[in-house]
Amino acid sequence: MNNTMKLFTSAIIALAFSASVYAQVPSNPNNNPNNNFIPNLQQLKRDAKRNAKQYKQPKIQKTEPKDIEIKSESPTAPPSGIIIGETVISPGDNMKFIFSIFGVPDHITAMRDKKSKKKDYIQMRYIEESLFFNIRNDDNTIRSIMITGECKIKNVPFSVGMRYDDVKAQWGEPDKKESGYANYIKKGIVFKVSDTGIIELIAIFPPGNVDPNQDPHGKDNSTVSKL
């Protein structure tokens, strides 16, 4: 009887020891025909902590923000144009549109750029209407419009003969002013101002595409050839 109890007790101790070892060392799932692999959660936590200590976070190089260059032509204003009855003629319109309204011009002048033939253009003048139209050679569209007399202009509440002080009172200082010209680049408008402060000419360009270094007449960098 005593031997039987000893064997029974030894068996229980052996089973308990085997169970504890099995719990600490997980079996290989590939060797389990049923693939019922139960991992040891405590062991997994210890492995995770150990891997976290070994992991090195990559260095992040900080860069100072660079100044963003803002172009002078942005943001731009709505396009302007001359108002003829219920019609508006603006830069970008085709030359045929001008002929359909005003007919044949009084003068046609070829403006040859000294640096680039791509910048050559034709200037059409209508004396009675006090208008000049500069036409691109490449696509026959209006490059700019110049007004030297009375004319209504869309989005421009000023006219030739007014004081330039009235412009500054509403529009503020120009984007650039030199040699008697006030360039409002974002609005696509150039004013030629006399020594007494009177507006002598208004030039209309596409908004944002005014070249402050170019005379609206095109005389600064062009040779004139009358046709």
pLDDT in tens, 104-124: 999 999 988 777 777 789 999
- Spatial separation of the C-alpha atoms in residues 167 and 201, rounded to whole Å: 13
Cis peptide before 75 (omega within 30 of 0): yes
C-alpha to C-alpha distances, 2 to 6, 11, 20, 67, nearest whole angstrom: 6, 14, 27, 93
Please state the rounded mean pLDDT for residues 176-203: 93
pLDDT tens, position by position, 121-136: 999 999 999 999 999 9
Please state the rounded mean pLDDT for residues 156-175: 96
Single-letter amino acid code for the residue at 205: F
Token code pair at residue 164? 């330039």
Residue 83 pLDDT exceeds 80: yes
Please state the rounded mean pLDDT for residues 199-216: 78
pLDDT tens, position by position, 30-75: 444 444 444 455 665 566 556 555 545 445 454 444 443 334 444 6
Q: Are 164 and 201 within 8 A, CB to CB?
A: no
